[in-house]
Amino acid sequence: MKAFNKDMVEGPYVLLYPDCSEVVNVPGSEKPFTLAEYKKDLGNAYARITLFICHEKHFRGGDDTSDSDSDIVITSTVGAQLN
């Protein structure tokens, strides 16, 4: 991802589903996540799959004093519509 976005900071990142839950298993199963299996379960083309990447400190709520004072908010599409 850093090869395409030079503004990304170093550190571990977390992959998120659109509902802002962490990608660990294929939803509704105990199978470890693979993009191919997720695509098969969704029935969508790869171009129609949406996942998000988030710095682990922001996702886990860690204190990172090196960042600016701006807040980072992660919300789902449904949550954004409700707000």
Sequence-ordered list of residues with C-beta below 8 angstroms from that of 65, at least 6 positions apart, any chain? none
What does the pLDDT look like over 34-74, one tens digit per residue?
Answer: 999 999 998 999 999 999 999 999 888 865 555 555 666 67
The domain ranges of the chain are 13-82
pLDDT of residue 83 exceeding 60, the answer is no
Whether 54 and 17 have beta carbons less than 8 Å apart is answered as no
Q: How much is the pLDDT for 79?
A: 59
Q: How much is the pLDDT for 2?
A: 79
pTM for the model = 0.65
Read off the pLDDT band of 4 (50, 70, 90): confident
